[in-house]
Amino acid sequence: MSFVQEIQLKSLGDERGQLVVLEGNQAVPFDIKRVYYIYGVDPQIPRGFHAHKATQQVAICIKGSCKMLMDDGNQKTTVLMNSPTQGVLIDVMQWHEMHDFSEDCILMVLASEHYDESDYIRDYDNFLKAVSI
């Protein structure tokens, strides 16, 4: 079984279209302190390549598609993200990389903490050392 937690978001649809609600401590399992989104990425250029020490995040591909490689130091899994109702929990100490962005991809991320560069582990060997302790 994969260690990656996917969150199926409820879509409130009617004849006018769809509406997805993102509430902290509901479908999103933390208080949301920050939201950012990534778009206009060259399909050849991957992003991420880090883990967070204390920040939890939920990523949602609200348009287009990309792949999220998740690595807990023991296992690696690649998740195809191609639905605005599919959340992927990026938990603490999970190395993640985003690949194969479609040209129209908009990847939205909800975070449990404000931005803090010192929360990032950007060196893979340091990540492996930290998770093996």
Binding site for ligand T46 (CB under 6 A): 34, 36, 38, 47-48, 57, 59, 90, 109, 115
CB of 26 to ligand T46, least distance (A): 21
Q: Which is nearer to ligand T46, 13 or 43 (CB)?
A: 43
CB of 111 to ligand T46, least distance (A): 7
Cβ–Cβ under 8 Å, residues 90 and 70: yes
Give the chain's length: 133
Cβ–Cβ under 8 Å, residues 81 and 88: yes
Please give the Cα distance from 56 to 92 (Å, whole number): 6
CB of 81 to ligand T46, least distance (A): 11
Q: Which residues are catalytic?
A: 50
CB of 90 to ligand T46, least distance (A): 6
Q: Which is nearer to ligand T46, 83 or 113 (CB)?
A: 113
2 CB neighbour count, 10 Å cutoff:
11
CA dihedral 99, 100, 104, 108 (to 10 degrees): -20
Query: Which tokens hold the place of 7?
Result: 């969150």
Q: Which is nearer to ligand T46, 6 or 18 (CB)?
A: 6
Q: Which is nearer to ligand T46, 19 or 43 (CB)?
A: 43
Please give the Cα distance from 57 to 28 (Å, whole number): 9
